Structures are given as structure tokens and as C-alpha cells.
Amino acid sequence: MLTVAVLISGTGSNLRALLDAAAEPEFPARVVVVGADREAEGFAHAEEYGIPTFMVPFAQFASREEWGAELGAQLDVWRPDLVVLSGLMRLLPADLVDAWSPRIINTHPAYLPEFPGAHGVRDALAADVAQTGASVIIVDNGVDSGPILAQERVPVLPGDDEHALHERIKPVERRLLIDVVRRVATGDLDLAAVSASAQL
């Protein structure tokens, strides 16, 4: 049974989808802890499932590195097989990424390498493209630049604002994320092999 830690900052709708999937008896992974860099709304989903949570408030640390060190210490308590960033709106310091990659993945609401960064949905709208997408990647030390594990196109429709487009993207993100976690858990997806081949 693959153990998963999920890190969030916001509403945690992608977290909720993973929790719902993991509640199915045949799903080969379970979420053991949910962490956040702030008092995230998404904690409510973890509490509903009786899953422990931790908070490492970014604002209480003098540097990203010190924040990352505490975040890493929390993760070390739980020793998950996989860390999932799902709406964590912070870049992780290199020490933390190096300690966990490739067993750390991220969901992003764009068709990477298009529109990386914190405003992928807004940037796609501003670019007036006909389609954007959703991606699941291995976290590396760049900004949404790690090896792509899964991605799918999502149309941009006339009249879309950022919220409407993001809400169309999120269900795709959730489906891709659940499928990636399932494939990692069953061994169908070898993160170390993907990461190594990306470095060739």
C-alpha cells in the first residue's frame, strides 16, 4: 500500500478527489498526512477523513530554507512513499526537493511546458490560446520544469474567465493525479526511471 503525503495551500479540491479515490478498497494508495504552509481550507477534507494534518506557516520562518527544513522534518515523521503537491503555492527549497525527488510530484493547471508558475490559468487566458491543459510532473528545482508524468489538453471557451477555465481544468487534473498515484502504487510508473531518463 503506497503511503502518500499531500501538501496544499488552498481549497484542496484536488486533495479531496484523491481522498475520495483512496477511500475505495481497491485503490492501492492511502493518504497518511496532509500538510500546508498556511491555515488551508483544504484541511477540512483531511479532518472529514480523520487524516492527520500539520501546518508549517511560511510567514513564521526567517527564510525559505528554514521553512523548508521544518517542512522536511514534518515529512520525515510520516516517511511517506510519495509526496504530492496539490495546490501548494510555494516553491520548495532545493534541499527539500533534493531529499525527496523523484518521489515528489506536482499538479499544474496548464499543458507544461506552457504557462509554468503561479498563474498558469491566467497566463493562458492572457495568451488568448484555444486550448490549455493540465499536467502532473515530478518536482525538480525549476519552476514546473520537472519530467512530465501525465498531461491532457483542456479547451479555452469564449467568455472564459480565470475561475471558469480553472474549474474546467481541475477535474482533468484530479483524474490525471489519481491515475498517476495509482500507477506509482502498482509499479506501472517508475518515478526513478522517468527522472533518470529525463536527465540523459
> Which residues sit in the known binding site for (6R)-10-formyltetrahydrofolate?
64, 89-92, 106
Nearest approach in angstroms of CB 133 to ligand GRF is 11
Nearer to ligand GRF, 48 or 190 (CB): 48
Would you call 108 a catalytic residue per the annotation?
yes
> What residue number has its CB nearest to ligand GRF?
87
Nearer to ligand GRF, 45 or 66 (CB): 45
The contact set with ligand GRF (CB under 6 A) reads 8, 10-15, 42, 86-87, 107-109, 170, 173
User: Among residues 45, 108, 163, 166, which one is catalytic?
Assistant: 108
Q: Which residues are annotated as a binding site?
A: 12-14, 64, 89-92, 106
Nearer to ligand GRF, 9 or 101 (CB): 9
Distance CA 150, CA 137 (A): 7
Q: Which residues are catalytic?
A: 108
